[in-house]
Amino acid sequence: MKYRTQIWGGVILLFLLLVSIPVTGADDYTVRTTVDGAPSLSPVNPEFTSFLYDSRAARLDFNSETTSTLGLVPSTVDLSFSRGIQISDMGGVSSQVNQYSEIVSSLSDRGQTYGAVSATTLPGTFDLRTQGKVTSVKEQGQCGSCWAFSTFASLESILLPGESWDFSENNLRNTHGYDLTSCQGGNAMMATAYLARWSGALTESSDPYSTVSKSATSITYPNSDSVKHVQEVLYIPGRGSSLDNTNIKRALYEKGAVYSTIRWEESSYRSSSASYYYKGSSGANHAITIIGWDDSYDRSKFTSQPPGNGAFIVKNSWGSNWGEGGYFYVSYYDTVIGEDNAVFTSEESDNYYHIYQYDPLGWVVSYGENSETEYFANIFTAQSEEDLSAVSFYTAAPNSKYQLFVYKGVSGTPVSGSALVSQSGTISVSGYHTIPLSSAVRLQKGEKFSIVIKLTTPDYKYPVAIEYPLSGFSSGARATSGQSYVSSSGTLWYDLSTIYPNSNVCIKAFTTSASGSTADTPTSTPSATTTPTPTTTTSAADTKSPTVTLTSPRAFSSVTPGSTVKVIWSATDNKGVSGVDIAVSKDKGSTWTTVAMNLAKTGTYTLTVPQDVSGTFMIRVTARDSAGNEGSSTRSCIVRASTLSTTTVRTTTTTTTPVPTTIALDRTSRITEFLSR
């Protein structure tokens, strides 16, 4: 007994020791969080933490559970708190304005609908196939791309029957921009980021599907080959119980097909009836598309009998030879289906002239200060004379209330200029939303303007969606000072990058041209490439490329792994430079990874040399103008072995901004791992 007491005493002591150690860096599956009342980030979704741990431990095998492949990566954002909340209005957004602009009665997404319905008027059986609102069944092959197929199955369905499209899942999975390989998987939020930054949607013919897996590649945004722009994605709250199906049914009836997820286990499937019923406790691992329901579906058709009748009609991505022509039935009593749901809507690709954004990787984690209400803002610089027409941002909770402000002539803080627009409203459904301004704001070239949002998310104390460099997932996120700001009061503002380096709030701004028209969008040309280089929207007929001068580093400078390199550049153009990107290559230019985007035409950037580089390390600085022309300058550096100790030394810097402490999100697994050694 005494020996056991000593052992448990040691375990408790070890636990307290691990709890007391501040852990920095997402390599430990953590993000920084703090005590109540101070700036903090939401905990990473535990299901994603488990996925990341398993993938690094090489325990993932997408082919081991089924004859077909899966491919769902859990979202880093945990919205499980909203499960069971009933949506009153699938339209999404209502808005009011004050004395700065005209009154707007209501706003909604542009997707085709059948009109609002109540729970009592929903039919007992509904199938989108009978409505002409389902595209053909696709085949993902031996690649974890189910999430891409489910995303576009929803988007294509929403457009039917008026418009028939076949979008490119290949382009989405190959150019999503995250650390994952193209066949490692993804989720609805990754798809939202790709679509919201205007990287797609592309047509299938322009980038046909292939099961060949590729590593992360450079991303293109905006992409002139896009045939649709996504301005609204609805995250339908997860089911609170087996019969809590009204939200999903209304989304199907009023909008179209719904992206959703299941836990696929071969033993839970009965092929003779194409029926599926999983009653376990494991998390989702496969994305599918719900296209209807049948309240009377006989429970005796499942492998094991659920408590009652009823099933969702589901479209899969394993080809038409699987299941019932590619479809199957999932019991209402399945323990996983309907937990994560999304509806993707779209607009024409010439809807706006310019898109202003700092968050190409979208919503990675959430920020708050122990309150349901927070202010956040972005400062942008106008590329030309144009009219600010709309603003977009994410909401985490149903029935979120917002106030939106536009300032011009800002310097320093985002509220230092003149307030020109103020709108407020309620957004009934969580997700990504675009709010058209009731009156446009004329911008002059080079003028700084800010978008300020006050957002209240009921029952959720992390109101602000931010892009964050989470190792193993979104490590390519980059930010510089003077872009994104947060405030608990709206008066005292903090530059987000001083609290969380390389992080930006997720706000985008959209303009029309000064003449009141949108940009001339070039005709989409089919292309076999899946790794296009970054471009911007096309404006005037300008064919001259910018010129880039690199003063640092010098050619064939010596660098060591883990060291820093100062990149100093200056770019010029006959019409004006609209942005500068920095990319690096570890394989002599065969592949490039973008490390910084949308920088000023002249500047300095401190670059960290990767630890795993050897031989030659290449740095490329690319400038582009508003017409989409690009010019680059490249430096090759010689990599020398480091003579320093391999011990990593962490340094701290004193600052006047709140610096949060760090809390590990997976201490239990660390203790278990330590004790098993």
CB-based contact 373:463 (threshold 8 Å): yes
Of 311, 344, 377, the domain-final residue = 344
φ/ψ region of 214 (left if φ > 0, alpha if ψ in -120 to 50, else beta) reads: beta
Give the model's pLDDT for residue 548: 85
Residue located via tokens 């496969």: 286
CATH number for the domain spanning 231: value is 3.90.70.10
**Whether pTM exceeds 0.75:** no
Give the model's pLDDT for residue 352: 96
- Cα 555 from chain centroid (whole Å): 37
Q: Structural domain of residue 567, as residue ranges?
A: 547-639
Give the model's pLDDT for residue 241: 97
Give the model's pLDDT for residue 120: 67
How many CA atoms lie less than 13 Å away from 668 in the CB half-sphere?
Answer: 3
Residue 488 resides in a domain: no
Low-confidence residues in the chain, pLDDT < 50: 1-36, 58-68, 97-114, 520-540, 642-677
d(CA 344, CA 230): 7
d(CA 32, CA 46): 15
Q: Which stretches of 326-476 are DSSP H helices?
A: none
d(CA 430, CA 400): 8
Residue 26 resides in a domain: no
- pLDDT (tens digit per residue) in 361-390: 999 999 999 999 999 999 999 999 999 999
- Going from the C-alpha of 165 to that of each of 154, 233, 350, the distances in angstroms are 11, 18, 17
Q: Report the catalytic residues.
A: 146, 286, 316
Give the model's pLDDT for residue 87: 94
Of 317, 344, 371, the domain-final residue = 344
Q: Residues 265, 270, 273, 276: is their CA dihedral positive or negative?
A: negative
Q: Are strands 630-639 and 558-559 parallel, antiparallel or unpaired?
A: parallel
Give the model's pLDDT for residue 160: 97
- Cα 483 from chain centroid (whole Å): 19
Where does 236-385 show beta strands of DSSP type E? 258-262, 269-270, 275-276, 286-294, 311-315, 327-331, 343-348, 354-356, 365-368, 373-381
Residue 422 resides in a domain: no
Residue 168 resides in a domain: yes
The three state secondary structure string of 537-594 is: CCCCCCCCCCEEEEEECCCCCEECCCCEEEEEEEEECCCCEEEEEEEEECCCCCCCEE
d(CA 324, CA 310): 17
- pLDDT (tens digit per residue) in 233-252: 999 999 999 999 999 999 99
Residue 188 resides in a domain: yes
CB-based contact 605:638 (threshold 8 Å): no
Residue 263 resides in a domain: yes
Residue 431 resides in a domain: no
Q: Residues 31, 35, 36, 37: is their CA dihedral positive or negative?
A: negative
Give the model's pLDDT for residue 100: 32
Whether the link from the prior residue into 161 is cis, omega within 30° of 0, is yes
The dihedral formed by the CA atoms of 73, 77, 83 and 88, expressed in degrees to the nearest 10: -110
Here the tokens at position 660 are 């949060």
Number of domains comprising the chain? 2
CATH number for the domain spanning 622: value is 2.60.40.10
Residue 406 resides in a domain: no
Q: Which amino acid appears at position 235 of this protein?
A: Y
d(CA 54, CA 136): 34
Sheet holding 494-495, edge to edge: 107-108, 92-97, 418-427, 400-408, 448-456, 373-381, 484-487, 494-495
